[in-house]
Structure 1
Amino acid sequence: MKMLYLFTLMLSGFAGVLSQSSGWGVNYPNNLICGVRGFSVSIPCSYYYPTSNPNIQVTQKLWCSMNTNTGRCTDPPYVYDSSSNTKSDFEYAGDDKSNCTLLIHNLQSSYSGKYKFRFITNVDSGKWTGEPGVILQVADLKVSLIRLSGNGTLKQGDSLNLMCDVKCTHSSSQFVWSKNNERLPASGPVLHFPALTVRDSGSYTCTWKTNEVSGSKTISLQVEGDFAQWQIWIIVLVIAVMILVIVAAVIYHRRKRVEAQDENSKKSAEKVQVGENTHDKQKKPQQNHVPQLDDETLRREEVTYATVCVKDKKLKQGRVHTEQQKEDDSVIYSTVKNT
């Protein structure tokens, strides 16, 4: 098996020499490309052809996956074909001159494998597939919490490590940590917490970077102090509700007291008004309606009373014909009354 692998490398090197001497070829990265599942990756690539002939032009560019294709990528299927308008996760980021970089979005585990680039020109013999191709490995980025002390929920004083892990070998990888989207000075795959505090609560993100790809994963820490944060919020909420109830009760009581005072003031004013009206009625004497008498009536009354007086004197002088006189008097008074 080892001999076969060495023989393949020798053939690839020999093909590279032939391609350079003939002026046709494709260059790939020497190392495999690592990608994080769910993110994007860039596969660098360059190609060349004889530039001595200015009539040569690239007419078609192709990328194929050896998972679905075989041989020298001369026949479909292709993951990218410049002559097709089909959109997919595979995007060509090169040009028609020398750049054949391929971008792969939304990486899936099934995208792992070997890829080759092929280009076709406007001359009959101007077709070339780059060998040996480039290998892509798609891996998962994981952030793990490793407890060094303490059990159950995280409490102040507990110790732990956050570990960022990618199952992919890459010499130029870099780990960057951030808390609540603010970068931390720490670097490397492990973030150490010797003694947790409440301030250590938050969201921690590990970003894994290479020259071709980057990916990130987030984990949350919730550290409890003397009181759990949710308990503090409950206490604050209960106090706020009690304050609102007390304020509402005070406002309601004041309104009722003001309304009662206004009602008493109205009743007092009504009583005073009624008393004044009664006093005025008692103070004013009742006036009998006496008809006004004209001068003629007054003269008649005077004459009548004068006549009465004369008749009285006659009675004193002699009591003659008493009964007759009474009848006359009755007639006179009745006359006065009728008048």
Structure 2
Amino acid sequence: MKMNPWTLSVLLLLAGPLGADPDWYVEYPDSFCVVEGSTATIPCSFTHPAGRRVERVFWCTNQVFCQISTPNVYDSSIVRADSRFLYLGDLIRNCTLKIIKTEKRDTATYRFRFETNGGGFTGQKGVRVNVTDGEDVKVRSSVTDHVVKEGGQVTLTCTSACSFHQLDVHWYRNGHNLSETGPALHLSGLTNDDTGNYTCSLDSSGQNTSGPWSLLVGEYEGFRWSVHLVVAVVKGVVLAVLFLLHAGAVFAKWCTNKTKHI
């Protein structure tokens, strides 16, 4: 059967870099959101036929084929000063991109392309990154009680409406920066020095900071009950004082009204 030359050319093209050839491939994560001001990482890996040498890589936004001539946020052949887009990959398999201090205008579909000495390829699937406001950044704990005995352990997790994707999370105790970073803070072998208010922030500037989560470390098992007893006594005293003040106000008003009728 004779085949139209134009049809044959199209089939040959689809069998190459633009087709479903497993030798040409870019792997992205699912689309996700990041909180404005945070630093996020887009994991990425790629493959190409054996014997090819990668000569140039770049990331573009909202471009289907991410050609060399299209606008891009990273190009290995161009040195950009003070760029917020940092390429963590290489020219072999890794194409990971880091976005520092995300902004609302960074919301886009990101695609990676690489050029070899025998053709190029764009991962057309891309990954959609949505940059949202930083509301509802919270600290969640592995324990329900804020009072933990000495020697115990607790894990605090920084959460928000967005699913974290290797975010640059910073932790603070009583407003002082801790050396630990990452979405989870593991505290073990607790001592009284660990007592304090813990907060997390999605970047080193302290923006998008959560509300405090209070931790109280006791020296012995009975300490927890002592604390609860003290809290209960204090609440009882406060309620008694409020009751006496209310009763006094009612009595004073009664006396005033009685005097007027005499």
With structure 2 as the length reference, what TM-score do the two structures score? 0.50
Give CA deviations for 1:114-165 in whole Å, capped at 9, x if unaligned: 1000000112xx11001210111222333589xxxxxxxxxxxxxxxxxx86
Contact kept in structure 1, 2:56 and 2:116, CA below 8 Å: yes
SS at match of 1:141: coil
Q: Determine the structure 1 residue equivalent to 2:32.
A: 33
Distance in structure 2 (CA, Å) of the matches to 1:171 and 1:37: 13
| Higher share in helix | 1
- Aligned counterparts, 1:49-198, within 5 A: 49-51=48-50, 53=51, 56-66=52-62, 70-74=63-67, 75-87=69-81, 88-123=83-118, 126-143=119-136, 166-169=160-163, 179-180=173-174, 181=176
Higher relative contact order (CA 8 A, sep 6+): 2
Instruction: Could you list the structure 1 runs, at least 4 aligned residues long, displaced by more than 2 angstroms after superposition.
Output: 139-145, 164-173, 175-179, 201-204, 206-209, 218-221
Change (3 A) 1:112 1:101: same
Change (3 A) 1:171 1:110: closer
Q: Determine the structure 2 residue equivalent to 1:45.
A: 44
For residue 18 of structure 1, report the CA deviation from its aligned partner: 1.3
With structure 1 as the length reference, what TM-score do the two structures score? 0.40
Change (3 A) 1:96 1:165: closer
Distance in structure 1 (CA, Å) of the matches to 2:32 and 2:137: 24
Distance in structure 2 (CA, Å) of the matches to 1:64 and 1:33: 17
Distance in structure 1 (CA, Å) of the matches to 2:116 and 2:172: 48
Change (3 A) 1:58 1:77: same
Give CA deviations for 1:174-228 in whole Å, capped at 9, x if unaligned: x998642588xxxx9xxxxxxxxxxxx975413579xxxxx9614479xxx9xxx
Contact kept in structure 1, 2:54 and 2:116, CA below 8 Å: yes
Give CA deviations for 1:233-263 in whole Å, capped at 9, x if unaligned: xxxxxxxxxxxxxxxxxxxxxxxxxxxxxxx
Change (3 A) 1:182 1:62: closer
Change (3 A) 1:99 1:49: same
Amino acid at match of 2:209: K
For residue 172 of structure 1, report the CA deviation from its aligned partner: 10
Distance in structure 1 (CA, Å) of the matches to 2:111 and 2:163: 21
Contact kept in structure 2, 1:141 and 1:165, CA below 8 Å: no
Structure of higher CA gyration radius: 1
Q: What is the count of residue pairs matched by the alignment? A: 160
- Aligned counterparts, 1:286-297, within 5 A: none
Which residues of structure 2 form unaligned runs of 5+? 1-16, 139-157, 184-194, 214-233, 235-262
For residue 107 of structure 1, report the CA deviation from its aligned partner: 0.4
For residue 166 of structure 1, report the CA deviation from its aligned partner: 2.9
Identity of aligned residues (%): 34
Give CA deviations for 1:61-114 in whole Å, capped at 9, x if unaligned: 010011xxx331113211001110113111111001010000110100111121
Contact kept in structure 2, 1:142 and 1:217, CA below 8 Å: no
Q: Determine the structure 1 residue equivalent to 2:20.
A: 18
| Higher share in strand | 2
Which residues of structure 1 form unaligned runs of 5+? 1-14, 146-163, 189-200, 210-214, 226-339
